[in-house]
Amino acid sequence: MVNVNIVEILLAAILVSSTYDKDQPVIKWGGLIIAVGALVVNLFG
């Protein structure tokens, strides 16, 4: 069973990292990749 709270937190992290304008793109894209990867693992793994 998918933990709905974790999915909501990960979706919020994706939203924040995709809209957050940071001087260092590594922080933005690193957070986005980690959040998307964790979401995919949580949904399908």
CB 7 within 8 A of CB 40: no
**DSSP letter assigned to residue 23:** S
Name residues whose C-beta falls within 8 Å of residue 36's C-beta, 6 or more positions apart in sequence. Answer: 14
Q: Which residue has the tokens 């399908």?
A: 44
> Alpha-carbon distance 28 to 2, whole Å?
26
Tokens linked to 36:
């998307």
Tell me, what's the pLDDT at 2?
58
Q: What is the pLDDT of residues 1-45, one digit of tens each?
A: 557 777 777 888 777 777 776 677 777 777 778 888 888 887 787
Tell me, what's the pLDDT at 22?
65
